[in-house]
Amino acid sequence: MTQLETEIQLLKEEVKNMWSLVNSQLVKARTSLLSFDKDLAREVILKEKRVNGSELKIDRDCENMFALYTPVAIDLRFLLAVLKINSNLERIGDIAEGIAKYVLSTQEPISAELVAATNLADMYNEAMIMLEDTENAFEREDTSLARGVFKKDEVLDDINRKANQSIIAYLENYPKDIDASLYALSIIRKLERVGDQAKNIAEEIIFYLEAKVLKHSNKN
């Protein structure tokens, strides 16, 4: 194994650790939201520093490998993909932190009726599955699994499109729940962005493995 191959294997482990950390942040933010666990929300916010630190280290390691080894072909694609995957993972970490901050800022839990009316829990679950699928696709080098992420994002897009009407219908029955409804709408928008980030990651996995650029294409 060459030194470059050794460095790439080490970098893969770093990226997988970053993925696991961000996934944990998203899961804990969901639990804190639905169970109104402020202590768990604080943990998510504190650990965001680790996410940021991991992002910076991965970026530096990629830059050093470009400078030292002048990678080509699949090695070059891998490093380019990792830079973008790393950025998207950090953004998902930011979204988890934003959800945790909502939990700390409000005095009452989001009601089960509002969660049901907006399909918030279903949307959150689908977003987490998308992130897990991209992680598995990266580890297994499985472009079929990566492509499956695009289809799953349609579920998030559908819930997001219907969110305004869902909120309006809910407020007809619970007119005093304006603040909670606005927060729910904000979280739905955040989860829609998680789906977008997961799609971006899937595109980078396919680029790395197949040398296909899917941005602005039909994702076939």
Q: Is residue 217 in some structural domain?
A: no
85 vs 220, which has greater pLDDT?
85
With respect to residue 121, please indicate whether it lies within any of the assigned structural domains. yes
Write phi, then psi, for 216 (nearest 5 degrees).
65, 20
Token pair for residue 185? 């709408």
pLDDT tens string 24-54? 999 999 999 999 999 999 999 999 999 999 9
Structure tokens belonging to residue 40: 């768990």
Q: Of 175, 173, 14, 183, whose CA–CA distance to 82 is shortest?
A: 14
Q: What is the mean pLDDT of residues 102-117?
A: 95
Q: How far apart are CA 117 and CA 112, in angstroms?
A: 9
Residue 154 CA to residue 172 CA, distance in Å, equals 28
pLDDT reported for residue 216: 54
Q: Identify whether 220 is part of a domain.
A: no
For residue 168, is it within any domain? Answer: yes
Note down the domain range covering 139: 3-210
pLDDT at 123: 96
pTM of the model: 0.94
How far from the centroid of its chain's Cα atoms is residue 130's Cα? 8
pLDDT surpasses 60 at 76: yes
* CATH number of the structural domain spanning residue 129: 1.20.58.220
In a domain, 95, yes or no: yes
As a whole number, the mean pLDDT across the chain is 95
Q: How confident is the model at residue 161 (pLDDT cuts 50, 70, 90)?
A: very high
Asked whether residue 219 is assigned to any structural domain, the reply reads no
Confidence band (pLDDT; 50, 70, 90) for 218? low
In a domain, 215, yes or no: no
Measured CA to CA in angstroms, residue 154 lies from 12, 30, 37, 124, 184 at distances of: 29, 21, 30, 13, 19
Examine the pLDDT at 219 and tell me if it is beyond 90.
no
How many folded domains does the chain comprise? 1
Hey, what long-range contacts does 126-130 have (CB within 8 A, 24 or more apart)? 126/152, 126/155, 126/156, 126/195, 127/26, 127/156, 127/191, 127/194, 127/195, 127/198, 128/23, 128/26, 128/27, 128/30, 130/156, 130/194, 130/195, 130/198, 130/199
